[in-house]
Chain A
Amino acid sequence: MLDDKHLKHYLVLFVVLCLCLALLLFFRFNRLAQIGVATFGSSFYCFWGIMHHALEERLNKKIVTEYILFGILAFLIISTALSV
């Protein structure tokens, strides 16, 4: 199960992602702002993953790549949906 430290990290992630969702809803008719929010959300996720693993002292190149790939994928999916 998640320990206290993990729980705090996950809470930060959850709150920021929910904030991004709320901002996407707020800027529902403003594509440029939505792209900005998607960029921020994806970048934050990469940052969160790297920081979380760095604090746990188990960061390696593979983990960094994995978070970056997930961040890019989510951004591309949202951008594709926004481009139509």
Chain B
Amino acid sequence: MLASLPYRHEKAIQNWREDPRAIQKFKFIHHFIPHAYHKTRAQLLSTRAFLGYFLALFLVLGSIKLLPKVIPGILGYASNIFSRDLLTFTNQKRQEAGLHTLTVNPVLAAAAKKKAEDMFEKGYWAHVSPEGVEPWDFILAEGYDYSYAGENLAKNFNDSKDVVDAWYKSPSHKENLLSANYDEVGFAVVNGVLDGYETTLVVQMFGKSRNPKPIATRVEVPETPAPVTVSALEEQVAPAQVVPKVDVAMVVKVLAFSLGGFLTVLLLIDLWYSKKHGIIKLSGHTLAHLVFLVVTFVSIWVALVPGRVL
């Protein structure tokens, strides 16, 4: 049995050399497994393959940037943001800092809504509109005479907690969140298409009124205005739930995980096959590459959020 092996092996090689399909199969399988003779990694882990992956990533990025300009609204950011939660988290941060809580003022909420609608209508994302209209103009236009006022903006966020956390992490927005100068706040959570992407804009307007009475008259609140409750706030400003046709953040995560997962599988095959067949390659450490890829995946999953604040 043992003596006949070399002959059988030679015969098999001879047959294999004469069979073009076997050669094709041999070539194809080495896209996925290391080459014992050349002592190289699988072809899909070669320099040429990596250049292909880079090109694919650039194409994906290009499509994400160009597609919304060609077909506006097809790509977007899923969101589930509620004014009620924004108020809760804002006041929570203020209480943690030993400050008084803010009450909702419907006039400020109306000004915030006008600002969000203006941004969608004119296609800008800034505190000052292209015509030079400032946040204070929206507040004054609603009849809110303030001694102090401020504005925080957010877009592309998935949930309310992330919005407030993002403001809290940014020094200038945190200053607004934790300012003792403000007594009142108004939120607007408005859905629309901005720069071709379907998204949700969040506008938070802070204020301290010089004279609260005229505001109550303007919004036709009864003579003895009661403080606005959380449920009242929900009635005034509808919660925003956006389910776009294609969620950009999810698409990017799925693509990143598909590519990363594919490379991880190839590296695991490389590790197993090389050990099994005793292939010693002059290459980098597969284990190190695996650790690096896993850290990259975890980073994408836990640390990257699509939202932006201004």
B44 CB–A CB distance under 8 Å: no
B300 near A84 (CB under 8 angstroms)?
A: no
Compute how far the CA of A63 lies from the CA of B47 in the bound complex, rounded to whole angstroms. 11
B170 CB–A CB distance under 8 Å: yes
A40 CB–B CB distance under 8 Å: no
At the interface, is chain B mostly helix, strand, loop or mixed?
helix
B283 near A21 (CB under 8 angstroms)?
A: no
Contact of A24 among B263, B285, B289, B303 (CB under 8 A): B303
Compute how far the CA of A82 lies from the CA of B256 in the bound complex, rounded to whole angstroms. 12
Q: Please tell me which stretch of B1-9, B54-62, B129-137, B145-153 contacts chain A, meaning at least 4 of its Cβ atoms lie within 8 angstroms of it.
A: B54-62
B288 CB–A CB distance under 8 Å: yes
B292 near A70 (CB under 8 angstroms)?
A: yes
* Total CB contacts across the A-B interface at under 8 A: 109
Query: Which of chain A's residues has its CB closest to B168's CB?
Result: A29
At the interface, is chain A mostly helix, strand, loop or mixed?
helix
Interface size class of B (residues with CB under 8 A): 35 or more
B119 CB–A CB distance under 8 Å: no
Compute how far the CA of A84 lies from the CA of B248 in the bound complex, rounded to whole angstroms. 7
- Please report which residues of chain A, range 69-84, place their CB below 8 angstroms from some CB of chain B when the two chains form the complex: 69-70, 72-74, 76-78, 80-84
- Please report which residues of chain B, range 277-310, place their CB below 8 angstroms from some CB of chain A when the two chains form the complex: 282-285, 287-289, 291-293, 295-296, 298-300, 302-309
B21 CB–A CB distance under 8 Å: no
A17 near B295 (CB under 8 angstroms)?
A: yes
Query: Which of chain A's residues has its CB closest to B305's CB?
Result: A28
Given contacts A10-B288, A66-B283, contact A81 B169 (CB under 8 A): no
B165 CB–A CB distance under 8 Å: yes
Residue among B61, B165, B255, B292 with max Cβ neighbours from chain A (10 Å): B292
The contact string, 1 if C-beta is below 8 Å from chain B, for chain A 39-64, is 00100010011001100001010110
Contact of A49 among B50, B65, B284, B306 (CB under 8 A): B284
**How far is the CB of A69 from the nearest CB of chain B, in Å?**
4
A contact residues around B47 at 8 Å (CB): 65, 69
* Listed A/B pairs (18) with beta-carbon separation below 8 Å: A10-B291, A21-B299, A21-B302, A25-B303, A29-B305, A45-B288, A63-B283, A63-B284, A69-B50, A72-B50, A73-B263, A74-B292, A74-B293, A77-B256, A77-B259, A78-B296, A78-B300, A80-B60
